[in-house]
Structure 1
Amino acid sequence: MTKEQFLEFSKNKVIFLDGATGTNLMKAGMPAGVCPEQWILEHRDVMVDLQRRYVEAGSNIVYAPSFTANRVKLTYYGLVDRIKEINTDLVNISKEAAGGKALVAGDITMTGKQLKPVGDMDFEDLVEVYKEQIRILDEAGVDIFVVETMMSLQECRAALLAAKEVTDKAVMVTLTFEADGRTLYGSDAASCAITLEALGACAIGANCSTGPDKMMEVISAMASVTSIPIIAKPNAGLPKSLPDGSTEYDMDSDTFVKEMELLLKAGASVVGGCCGTTPDYIAGLKNAYGELDPQTLTGEDGNPIPRKINGRRYLCSERRSLSFGMDDPFMIVGERINPTGKKKLQEKLREGNLDMVSDFAQSQEAEGAAILDINVGMSGIDEKDMMLKVLEEVMSQTDLPLCIDTSSKEVMEAALRMYPGRALMNSISLEKGKAEEFLPLAKKYGAMFILLPLSFSGLPKDLEEKKENVDKLVDMAFDLGMTKTDIVVDGLVATIGADKNAALNTLDTIEYCYRNDLATICGLSNISFGLPQRSFINTAFLTMAISKGLTMAIANPSQEMLVNAAFASDLLKNKEESDIRYIERMSRYDGEVKMSAGGAGAGATGSGNAQGGAGAGSTQAAAGTTGASASGDGSKDYLAIIKKDVLSGSKRTIVRDTKEAVESGIEPKVILNDVLMPAINEVGELFDKGKFFLPQLISGAEAMKLSIGYLEPLLKDDGEVNEELPVIVIATVHGDIHDIGKNLVALMLKNYGFRVIDLGKDVPKEEIIRAAKENDASIIALSALMTTTMKEMKNVVELARKEELKAKIIIGGAVVTEDYAFEIGADGYSSDAADAVRVVKKILEIA
């Protein structure tokens, strides 16, 4: 089934998926710690019976139990040499159960290894892991694919790209979200939906983590920015421990079915159940909503369900989305990360020094850019390698969407392939082979692109030729399945000094595009080249262009006159909220003709719909203003610089800065106690407030670790090493081979000075207790990601009490709740890594 066939299949009706697999198999006798796929193959009748009952209950699609049958997971169980046999047999089980009455989906998920820079896996290696499994499942005859229970948008992209490069079958994608509506890696629902629809998913949504009542905002956010079907596959409420040690969920089928109406009214049209659900839950859904046309539903407020608005354009980074229409406030694309004409930046790039890149990213966001243009084209460097390094650096400093600016197809593809969002491509023209090479890249990677109306012969000779070039490129994009909302036309600004009609021609082009519902962009500074007092010309031209419908411009957002003129132009055109934006910007003045520090610029509120709130960049930019400060005598303020390194997670510079601080005479203990510890506390606080996300938390902790690594020998030499804090034994419980949360908690605790004994994943309770005894541990920290392994936590607690251990036990993990912790007798519950430090300190009464 192709994407087009799936969209027709799901049109004007609710599609029903299956329910839980793992929790039902456990009830059927599957023990913790085994390889689920192997157990299923050894108990084939159990799986056939379960899925047959799902089909009888009304499931239109059942998931083949190939969930963790990828190379990485099977290697852990010593079964990788059987990967083809296992996946093929699992598909055959589902095909037998379906009996031609339901579609069979090839099910893939996380590998358990994290991508760089959070983990150690390369993106292309992950793509290859997914390709291998997808190829086997495709050959085994699955009808469709599902990528489910994902925590990382980038890992979703890897799986979706792998599928696109192996098969033309449709791919559904669902992620699991935290209580704050973001994934573990900080991606908001809208950014996930925008990225995955653009990349070619046939349906997107959420599964696991929560019951239907807590999933509504995520589903609504996804529905409002996409046009494809939305999937909702929640748990049967929250887990709770029973006296016999088993786990059940607190939402019965009747309640579940009733609550699912909320998700249908939020925009879902593909529904099923995850942990704790059974065929009875699916039967209830089918009976209640089997005859429903989702198009006829209205939301809770009685209004039509919000779906993607025709004509809206969407860009996004991994953690922030940008929505704009033809009449929305003007936006600035920050131009400063471009070595052309910047000798100092060229010098830094050749040295491999990205400090200026980082500063430009932070300052342009603070000054109001809505998008950042990234160009590293220059002699003396490997452009592809540098582009990837600069992208990684910029993405660590800001959440703004990025514009990839290169004339090299190889560089463009490498950048689009690794960019975890929906990028803007700069640019595609009719120059020899350019459109033929670059348009397929835009289509494959779901990018929006800048249309540059140049032809093989160069600049168009007149306005009519320019329009013809625009129309020809638009038609070529249409032929590939793209739409006008994927295109931003460059007005192609020439210099007024050489062509007196340059401005008029560009204004006519902008007006022509506006009438034809095409967004526009231009490089402002070209208009005034070679003339005196260029800012006046640029500003006047910008106001005229905005009056004709200009959408955005590539410019320096720190140009005060230019940005203020843009705000004033929007005000005069009566664009939405332009009056408030103008007043807020003017409040930055102190009554004189100069700007006060800080404040928002053109793009910050001019994005139409900047989903996801403030990202790390604005906080880091604020930190950066002190990070580069000087002491009263004019020397560097190393303490502020090191603090900035921790806040921005700058592993690249923190050791150098720490060394320079020591060499300048600052005592190592001062750096540790007065800078590093307060800085990591601030990182934790920002994480709690939703201003930092998992990658920033990890980067900050790892940067601090590098600084401490340099300081440690010096502290020992000075006799200044603090008495070591108590011992903590940490492990992922038996049967669970996921360790991202556990690793992060261990890293944070180590950075706070605790001696952490990390036992790894899938650790038997006896080994945990033995390690706690041998190391005189004060705390045992347990992690579990899966509902099928949660009960093992209770086994550890009971054994610890039986052995009369003094160690207190704290638990955490994606499926774990505070109520569950108290039900099983644990001493504490941690919601995340930063919280774990606080919980441990509270239990141990450490200030």
Structure 2
Amino acid sequence: MNRQEFIEFSRDKIVFLDGATGTNLMKAGMPAGVCPEAWILEHKDVMLDLQKRYVEAGTNILYAPTFTGNRIKLADYGLGDKIEEINTDLVKLAKEAAGDKALVAGDLTMTGRQLRPIGDLDFEELIEVYKEQTQILEKAGCDILVVETMMSLQECRAALIAAKEVSDLAVMVTLTFEADGRTLYGSDAAASAITLEALGACAIGANCSTGPDKMEEIIRNMACVTNIPIIAKPNAGLPSVNPDGTTGYDMDSDTFRSEMKRLITAGASIIGGCCGTTPEYIQGLKEEYGQLVLSELRDKEGNSIPRKICGRRYLSSERRSLSFGMNDPFMIVGERINPTGKKKLQAQLREGNLDMVCDFAASQESEGASILDINVGMSGIDEKVMMLKVMEEVMSITDLPLCIDTSSAEVMEAALRIYPGRALMNSISLEKGKAEVFLPLAKKYGAMFILLPLNPDGLPKDSEEKIGNIEKLSAMAYEQGMTKEDIVVDGLVATVGAEPSAAINTLDTIDYCYENDFATICGLSNISFGLPERMNVNTAFLTMAIDRGLTMAIANPSQELLVNAAFASDLLKKKEGADIRYIERMQIISERNAEKEAALKALEASAKAGNTGNTWTGASPASGSGDKAAAAAAGSPETDALAVIKKDVLTGNKRTIVRDTENAINTGIEAKTILNDVLMPAINEVGELFDKGKYFLPQLISGAEAMKMSIGYLEPLLQKDAEGAPKLPTVVIATVHGDIHDIGKNLVALMLKNYGFDVIDLGKDVPKEEIVKAAIEHNASIIALSALMTTTMKEMKNVVEYAHENKVNAKIVIGGAVVTRDYAMEIGADGYSTDAADAVRVIKNILNLD
């Protein structure tokens, strides 16, 4: 079944999925620590009975039990060479259970290894892993594919790209979200849905991690930005420990059935259950909602079920979405990451130095850019390699959506392939061979694109010819399956000094586009080329263009007069929110000017006093020019050097932190001063930002890794200084037996090491005997345990009991995605942490180290 067939299959009705597999197999005797796929094939009758009961209960789509059947996961169990045999036999088993009553979905999930730059897994390698499993699943007879329980949007993209390149099967995708409505990697529901729909998913949604009562907002946010079906597959409430030591859930089938109504009215039309649910739960859903006609429900509910608003345009990054319509406030596409005319930037790029790129990214966001244009086209570099490096750095600094700006199809595809969101392509024209190559790229990777109305031979002679080019190129896009919402038309600004009617022609083009529902963009600088005081011309032209309906412009957001005029134009046109937006900008400018004035006065006072110290060389990611000026007034070589290192940790700058640390030592700063006065406070601030939801897992890991590199340089000096000093206690850390997930555990270990603890990392899937043995051998003060799955979290209780039996004095702290504070208390653990930063605080508190 392909994507369009699936859309028709699921139209205007509720489609029912199955319920949990893992928790039911555990009840049936599957022990922790075994390969689920191998155990199922050794106990086929158990799986066959469970899946037949799901089908009898009303399941329309049955998940084949191939969840961890990829090459990397199977290799953890020594079964990597049996991938085809295992997946084929499991699909055969599901098809036997389904008969002719249900579709069979080949099930794929995360590999357990992290993608670069956080981990060591290359994106293309991950795509190949998913291609291999996809081909096996299709050959085995799956009707569709499902990518589920995903924590990383980028890994979802890898699976979806892989499937599209080797198969025509429809692909459903569901992610699992934390309590704050974001994935572990920081993606929110809207950004995830926008990205995956554009990339070609047939349905998107959420599964696991929570009960239906906590999933409503996630489903609603997805439904508001997409046209494809929304999936809801929640747990049976919160996990708890039963008296017999098994894991239970606090929501029975009747409560679950009732609570699922809220997810349907929030927009879900494909429903099922995850951890803790059984065939009884699915039967209840089928009985309650099996006869619903969604269109009738919408009418009955007074259109309360959310749907994508017609005419809205959407871009996204991995952690942020951007929605705009034809009458929304004007937006700036930041133009500064472009070497054209910037000799210093060109020199840095040739050296592989990305300092200016990073500064431009941070400053343009703080100045109000909505999108960042990325262009690295110049001589003396490999454009594709540099484009990917620059994108990686920029995405570590800002969550703004990116505009990929290149004339090379090879570079464009490489950039779109790796970009973890929905990008804007700059640009596609009728120049010879360009549309034929670039339009398929836009379609394949789900990108929005800038339509540049050039002729095959160059510039159109007038606005009439320009409009003809717009119509011809947009028709070509429609043939690819795209719509007007995928297009932003470039007004093609010429130079008014050479062509007096240039501005009028562009304004006429914007008029045409607005009347015909095309979003528009233009580059402002051409209009004033060769004229004196160019900003006056640019500003006047921009206000005229906004009045005609211009959507966005490629410009430098630090040009105060230009941006102020744009904000004022929106205010005068009575655009929604423009009044508050204008007032807030004026307040920011007023504060910045006051800071500059204070800094200048401080500089004058410093000069009179004969202070000739070095100027500021670093600032916080969101700092403006006023902050830099103020720092310059108070700066000294020592304070500057320390400030740079702090910025490196806050921004996760692994490129230069070792060099910056060496520079600080060379100015005479002691290693312990760098550690205690800069690195520790900086990583604390990173943890605080993570707690507040301003930083996410990638920033947390990057900050910790940068700090680790600095400490690595300082370590010999610190050891020399610390001779004879008491050491911090020992922590033994492990992911419990049966669980092969170690992302969270690795981060906790890294953070504890950075704080000076002696960390003994035992790895993943560690038996209780090994954990307790290590704690005794190393005289550990703390045992830290991690579990990601509800089916393995009960192993934590076994470790606690075994440790007590062996009279281990170490305190036990537990954590993980499914673990709760109540669970920690139930099993007798001494502490519970919500994340890596919290783990440090909890352990220090238990050991009275604060």
Establish whether TM, by shorter chain, passes 0.5: yes
Distance 1:517 1:97, change over 3 A: same
The aligned counterpart of 1:772 is 775
Deviates further, 721-730 or 102-111: 721-730
Between the aligned partners of 2:665 and 2:656, the Cα distance in structure 1 is 14
Show CA shifts across 1:774-795 (max 9, x none): 0001111111111111111111
Range with bigger deviation, 397-406 or 810-819: 810-819
Kindly indicate whether residue 223 of structure 2 is the aligned counterpart of residue 220 of structure 1.
no
Relative to structure 1, is the Cα distance of residues 720 and 661 closer, same or farther in structure 2, using a 3 angstrom cutoff?
farther
Distance 1:212 1:584 in 2: 39
For residues 145 and 591 of structure 2, the distance between their equivalents in structure 1, rounded to whole angstroms, comes to 61
8 A Cα contact 1:299 1:305, kept in partner: no
Q: What do residues 42-82 of structure 1 show as CA deviations (whole Å, max 9, x unaligned)?
A: 11111111111001100000000000011001111111111
Q: What secondary structure is seen at the aligned counterpart in 2 of 1:353?
A: coil
- In the TM superposition, residue 586 of structure 1 has moved relative to its aligned partner by 2.1
C-alpha distance in 1 between matches for 2:72 and 2:624: 39
Distance 2:483 2:329 in 1: 22
Shift of 1:626: 9.0
Are the equivalent residues in 2 in contact too, given 1:627–1:643 (CA < 8 A)? no
Helix, strand or coil at the partner of 1:306: coil
Letter in 1 for 2:486: D
Matched, 1:79 2:79: yes
Give 1:398's aligned amino acid: T
Report what 1:806 is aligned to: 809
After superposing the two structures, state which structure 1 stretch, 367-376 or 709-718, moved more: 709-718
Closer, same or farther: CA 448–362 of 1 in aligned 2, 3 Å: same
3-state SS of paired residue (2:791): helix
Sort the Cα spacing of 1:623 and 1:253 in 2 relative to 1 into closer, same or farther, 3 A. farther
The residue number in structure 1 matching 2:654 is 651
Show CA shifts across 1:131-187 (max 9, x none).
000000010110000000000000000000000001111000000000000000011
Map of 2:603 onto structure 1: none
Looking at structure 2, the residues matched to 203 and 522 of structure 1 have their Cα atoms a distance apart, in angstroms, of 35
The Cα shift of 1:455 comes to 1.6
Contact 2:454 2:460 in 1 (8 A): yes
Match of 1:270 in 2: 270
Q: Which amino acid aligns with 1:82?
A: K
Shift of 1:243: 2.1
2:24 alignment partner in structure 1: 24
The alpha carbon displacement at 1:87 in A equals: 0.4
**2:140 maps to which residue?**
140
Q: Which residue of 2 aligns with 1:162?
A: 162
Match of 1:101 in 2: 101
Structure 1 residue 552 and structure 2 residue 555: aligned?
no
Matches within 5 A, 1:172-187: 172-187=172-187
Partner SS for 2:503: helix
The letter for the 1-side match of 2:424 is L
Counterpart Cα distance in 2 of 1:396 and 1:503: 38
Q: Using the alignment, how far apart are the partners of 1:465 and 1:436 within structure 2? A: 20
Q: Distance in 2 between matches of 1:334 and 1:222?
A: 28
Report what 2:584 is aligned to.
584
CA 409–432 in structure 1, closer or farther in 2 if over 3 Å, else same: same
CA distance in 2, matches of 1:383, 1:44: 53
Please give the secondary structure, in 2, of the residue aligned with 1:672: helix
**Contact kept in structure 2, 1:629 and 1:640, CA below 8 Å:** no
Measure how far apart 1:319 and its partner are.
Answer: 0.5
Of 678-687 and 623-632, deviating more is: 623-632
Q: Which residue of 2 aligns with 1:306?
A: 306
Contact 1:493 / 1:526 at 8 angstroms: preserved in 2?
yes
Kindly indicate whether the alpha-carbon contact (under 8 Å) linking 2:330 and 2:546 is maintained by their aligned counterparts in 1: yes
- 2:51 aligned with 1:15: no
**Alpha-carbon distance in 2 for matches of 1:582, 1:623:** 20
Please give the per-residue CA displacement for 1:554-597, whole angstroms capped at 9, x wherever unaligned: 00001111111101111111111111212222223549999979
> How many angstroms does 1:714 deviate by?
1.3
Give the structure 2 partner of residue 606 of structure 1. Answer: none
Question: How far is the alpha carbon of 1:117 from its aligned partner?
Answer: 1.0
8 Å Cα contact 1:110/1:155 also seen in 2: yes
Counterpart residue number, 1:733: 736
**Structure 2 CA distance for aligned equivalents of residues 546 and 166 of structure 1:** 45
Equivalent residue of 1:703, what SS? Answer: helix
Contact 2:453 2:466 in 1 (8 A): yes
Distance change in 2, residues 1:816/1:634 (3 Å): closer
SS in 2 for 1:522: strand
Identify if the C-alpha distance between structure 1 residues 98 and 591 changes in structure 2 by more than 3 Å, giving closer, same or farther: closer
CA contact (8 A) 1:738 1:784 kept: yes
2:699 counterpart residue number: 696
- Contact kept, 8 Å, 2:592 with 2:624, in 1: the verdict is no
Show CA shifts across 1:669-700 (max 9, x none). Answer: 11111000000000000000000000000000
Q: Do residues 504 (structure 1) and 504 (structure 2) align?
A: yes
Q: Which runs of 5+ in 1 are unaligned?
A: 599-615
Residue of structure 1 in register with 2:414 after alignment: 414
> Mind listing any 5+ residue stretches in structure 2 that lack a counterpart?
599-618
Tell me which amino acid in the other structure corresponds to 1:586: M
Cα distance change, pair 279–752 in 1 and its aligned pair in 2 (3 A) = same
Alpha carbons 1:649, 1:699 under 8 Å: kept: yes
Kept in 1, the 8 Å contact 2:638–2:664? The answer is no
Question: What amino acid sits opposite 1:433 in the alignment?
Answer: G
Q: Which whole-Å deviations, capped at 9, do the CAs of 1:596-621 have from their partners, x for residues lacking one? A: 799xxxxxxxxxxxxxxxxx996577
CA contact (8 A) 1:265 1:299 kept: no
1:224–1:622 CA distance, 2 compared to 1 (3 A)? farther
- Contact 2:202/2:229 (8 A) holds in 1: yes
* Residues in 2 aligned to 1:636 and 1:595: alpha-carbon distance in whole angstroms: 19
CA distance in 2, matches of 1:620, 1:122: 33
**Alpha-carbon separation, structure 2, partners of 1:81 and 1:395:** 37
What is the TM-score with the length of structure 1 in the denominator?
0.96
Aligned pairs for 1:340-489 (under 5 A) are 340-489=340-489
- Contact 2:363-2:622 within 8 A present in 1 as well: no
1:795 aligns with 2:790: no
Secondary structure at the residue paired with 1:165? helix
Contact 1:397 1:617 (8 Å CA) reproduced: no
Match of 1:835 in 2: 838
Instruction: Name 1:330's counterpart in structure 2.
Output: 330
Partner Cα distance (1:128, 1:246) in 2: 38
Report SS of the residue matched to 1:453. Answer: coil
Give the deviation of 1:314 after TM superposition.
0.4
CA contact (8 A) 1:539 1:565 kept: yes
Q: Deviations over 1:309-346 (max 9, x none)?
A: 01000001101110000000000000000000000000
Shift of 1:654: 0.6
Mapped to 2, the partners of 1:583 and 1:842 lie a distance apart of 45
TM-score, with length taken from structure 2: 0.95
Q: Are the structure 2 counterparts of residues 130 and 742 from structure 1 closer, same or farther at C-alpha, using a change threshold of 3 Å?
A: same
Rounded to whole Å, the distance in 1 between the matches of 2:467 and 2:60 is: 49
Give the drift of 1:716: 2.4
Shift of 1:296: 3.4
Measure, in 1, the Cα distance between the counterparts of 2:809 and 2:360. 53
Q: Give the direction of change, closer, same or farther, for the CA distance of 1:522–1:824 in structure 2 (3 Å limit).
A: same
1:635 Cα shift? 7.5
Q: Is the 8 A contact 1:627 1:637 kept in 2?
A: no
Q: Is the 8 A contact 1:627 1:640 kept in 2?
A: no
Segment of structure 1 superposing worse, 634-643 or 182-191: 634-643
What is residue 755 of structure 1 aligned with on the other side?
758
Within the candidate set 685, 691, 695, 1:682 is matched to 685
Aligned partners of 2:145 and 2:169 also within 8 Å: yes
Q: CA deviation at 1:256?
A: 0.4
Q: 2:573 aligns to what?
A: 573
* RMSD between superposed Cα atoms in Å: 2.0
Higher mean displacement: 240-249 or 115-124: 240-249
Secondary structure at the residue paired with 2:237?
coil
